[in-house]
Structures are given as structure tokens and as C-alpha cells.
Amino acid sequence: MGDRDISPRSLDRRLPVISGKKIAKKACSGRQAFRAVTVIFLAGCVGEPDGDSDMWSSEVAAEGSTLGHDGTVRGILVMGPEVRTFKPCAENIELWAIPVESVLRAYDALTSEAYEPLFVEVEGGREAAPASGPAAGHSGQIRLANLLRAEPVGQGLGCGESLVSVAFRASGHEPFWHVRVLSDRITLASPEIPSTIFREGLQIPLDNGWRFEAESVGPETVSLRLDLIRGSCLDPTSGSLYTWTALLDVGGFVRSGCAWEGELAPGRATN
């Protein structure tokens, strides 16, 4: 069955909500395996800027500042001496970028040199370009706030990924697994389970996250539980940074990984 384009509220209609269940926050698999500078960055990548000085500090907006109408935006960020540009996905324009501290840290941690492109997904507010200064001459400027994920170009689908009918995607390694939480089902792919569909799912609110429970479709019933907790998560294989950790339990076998939001995620801000 192909994915369908369903309104953002359809997930809440189809997945019954059960309140009152809580779990402890889990660490992302393989997080310690990445380089030390990235781990240091991760400790402060979500939340308010910590006051560290840098060349852009006078223009960095506070996390949670009032944004324009854009909501969640995806695109390619390039930064270097006197340069910081953002090219939105599916738009042939170049905007001057005004990043918050978490975006600055992500760029420094996930790139090896200046002017290296980095795919980012953030909440952004677009503005007109000023008449003078480094932003003048661009199609406009955009304030990049509330980092959702960052991926080195070529390590993920980036702008080519469609999240229209998806609430969450989650993946992990050893062995590899990938889950999609859709409006009416959950799909799982892994080497030992090439393609499994889970239906009749429950969406359960947790402390700072969500739990999804479902049973497989087929002659043998397999139970799935997916816990998603908001928090920094680094994929050590791709070097991608996410802001959700994932804990997957399929038939009693537990695996950890990272997750990212789709357009049907509860509370998702879309443009």
C-alpha cells in the first residue's frame, strides 16, 4: 500500500492516545564513538545559547525567538569567513543566514572546513534583505532557530527526502533497522525482517516524547514498541545529528537509534 497525503491532524484521529505512562530517557546507540568535539557540541546543541563568543554572536537570535511565517524549513547551509548562506530546498534562491548558537555548533561539529555544505532542518523566519551590509544583494535573509537535524551532504537524502505523509522516521545500526511511523500504520525494515507492517497502533504521550505500540499484520503476530524521546542523538555511521533518540522493541529484541520528525509529527510547525 502506497503512502497517502493526509492532513497533519489525521495521526491523532487514527492513533488512540493513552495518558499517564512514563519512561526514562535513553542514550543514543554509538554516541560515544564519534569524535570528542562533536560530543562536546551535543551537550549544548539543544536549548538556549550558552553565551560563547564567536564572530556572529552579535547577530545570533535567542532560541525560541519570534519567527516569520516559514515554520519548519530545510536546506543547505554554507558558512565561512564573511559568508553564511542558506539555500531552501526546492527554491532556486540564496538567503543570508542568521543562525542561533545550536546551528553554529552543528556546522562547526559536522563540517571539516569552511564553506562545506551542510543539510539542516530548522524552524526559520524569513525577512527582507537589508539595504546595506553583507546580507544586501541576497534574495532575503532567514533566521535559523530550533535545530531539528543536521546531515553532512551526501550522507542522507537531504532535500530529496519526502516527509509529507510521515509522523516520524527512526533508524539504528548493528544490525541496521529503519522505522516509519505513518498516519495509519508503522513499517519496519531490517536485514532479518525485510518489510513488516504494523497496524492498529497506539500513540502514547511520555515525558518529553512519545511511545507507539502496534502489532504486525500476517500469520504470526509480532508486537512493536517504539519510544521517541526529545534529546540530542548522533548517528556515528553517517555523522548526522538529530534531536530525537529512539528505542525500538520488536518481539522482545531491543535496539537503539535516532529519530527525526515528519510533517505529521504532533505539534509540527510547517510552512
Cβ within 8 Å of residue 254, ≥6 positions away = 247, 248
Note the pTM of the prediction, 2 decimals.
0.72
Domain ranges of the chain: 10-34+159-261, 36-41+48-156
Q: What is the predicted pLDDT for the residue at 42?
A: 43
CATH topology of domain 36-41+48-156: OB fold (Dihydrolipoamide Acetyltransferase, E2P) (2.40.50)
Of 171, 229, 231, the residue nearest 43 (C-alpha): 231
Q: What is the predicted pLDDT for the residue at 74?
A: 94
CA 216 → CA 39, 194, 222, 251, distances in Å?
37, 13, 5, 10
- Computed on alpha carbons and rounded to an integer, the radius of gyration of the chain in Å comes to 19
Stretches where the chain sits below pLDDT 70 are: 1-70, 194, 200, 269-271
Q: What is the predicted pLDDT for the residue at 34?
A: 39
* Pairing mode of beta strands 141-152, 95-99: parallel
User: Per-residue pLDDT tens for 114-145?
Assistant: 999 999 999 999 999 999 999 999 999 999 99
Q: What is the predicted pLDDT for the residue at 117?
A: 97
Q: What is the predicted pLDDT for the residue at 267?
A: 77
Query: 212: alpha, beta or left, given left = phi > 0 and alpha = psi -120 to 50?
Result: beta
Q: What is the predicted pLDDT for the residue at 43?
A: 38
Indicate the SS3 state at residue 197.
strand
Q: What is the predicted pLDDT for the residue at 47?
A: 36
